Structure 1
Amino acid sequence: MHALRKNRPLRRIVLASAATVSGMVLLLSLKPHDTPAVAVPAPATAPSGGTSGSTAGGTTVTGDSAQTRWGPVQVRVTLQNGKLTDVTAVDYPTDNPRDQEINSYALPRLRTEALQAQSADIDTVSGATYTSDGYRRSLQSALDSAGG
């Protein structure tokens, strides 16, 4: 007995519906070959681990590089009179467009949080858990090296 016989219209409807649903699932699961690039400045290269120096603007210290699942994260801090005045991410994952997209919104938020908190006790940015954790560890390392 053939599955698409004319005396079984319900079976034909079920098979046609299943084929349509399967085709839609396959069509919707296709991903574009190239994702649009997000403009993120390339990280500056910096020596690893506690590099410090005095400038007219205060003391500048580079924290240890914190290895994360997606790559290293490293920050440089500037302190003036014991107060955190600037935090710059000098190394962070930029290998693919998704890393660039995540870091384009996460790094400014982490910087703002650090400057407001005046410490490494900052919140994790949703969607950037690994970057946030590495940022926090490198920031704490820099603050420890600066004695702040």
Structure 2
Amino acid sequence: MNANATKTLIAVVAGLAVIGDAFLLFVKPHLGNGTAGSRSVASGAIGGSSPSPSSGTASSEAADSGSALRDGTYTSVATPNEYGEVQLQVTVSGGAITDIAAIAYPNHTNRSQAVSAQAIPQLIDRAISAQSARIQYVSGATETSTAFANSLQDAINQSLNAGK
């Protein structure tokens, strides 16, 4: 398979994932009931600092839709991008995302290692603060940010669907 065919296949798979996520975010939540708890703090898996402790009401799609995240640890699918894969392990406690660990991230070149070391901790902080995969991307790390958000959404979907 040539490089263009590979990129096209990745784009198609990513598009299908977006469609599936859209269904789970905008259609399925209206079918369930529940509440989301308040969020806690977490630590990043690679480089960077931990987020500051804070509390508040979760503002994720789960909270907006009335569906609660189910407690547990969820490992997302590995989401490919041009520079590698992003795979996350997300911990939910008290109905909120309390920890995110990047178990796979682009690190095949010095450049991708540097971008990941800078971007992943920021993305983790933003996701825990937002309690959502709807986060602001890191400038200069668009591919990694996109893969991170898609991977996070997969783990969130697993939590929303756990025990159903």
The normalised TM-score by structure 1 is 0.60
1:102 equivalent in alignment to 2:128: no
2:104 maps to a residue whose letter is: D
Q: Which protein has the bigger strand share?
A: 1
Equivalent residue pairs, number? 93
Q: Which of 107, 113, 136 lines up with 1:123 in the alignment?
A: 136
Q: CA deviation at 1:71?
A: 1.1
Give the whole-Å Cα distance in 2 for the aligned partners of 1:72 and 1:103: 11
> In angstroms, what is the RMSD of aligned CA positions?
1.5
Which residue in the other structure is 1:9 paired with? none
1:139 equivalent in alignment to 2:152: yes
Deviations 1:38-81 (CA, angstroms, capped at 9, x unpaired)? xx67xxxxxxxxxxxxxxxx510011111101111111100002
Q: Kindly indicate whether structure 1 or structure 2 has the higher relative contact order, using CA contacts under 8 Å at least 6 residues apart.
A: 2
State the identity %.
Answer: 38
Runs of 4+ displaced beyond 6 Å: none
Residue aligned with 2:85, SS: strand
Residue aligned with 2:114, SS: helix
Q: Which protein has the bigger helix share?
A: 2
Q: Which of 91, 94, 100 lines up with 1:87 in the alignment?
A: 100
Give the whole-Å Cα distance in 2 for the aligned partners of 1:65 and 1:82: 24
Residue aligned with 2:138, SS: coil
Unaligned runs of 5+ in 2: 1-45, 48-70
Structure with greater Cα Rg: 1
Which residue in the other structure is 1:59 paired with? 72
Give the whole-Å Cα distance in 1 for the aligned partners of 2:85 and 2:114: 16
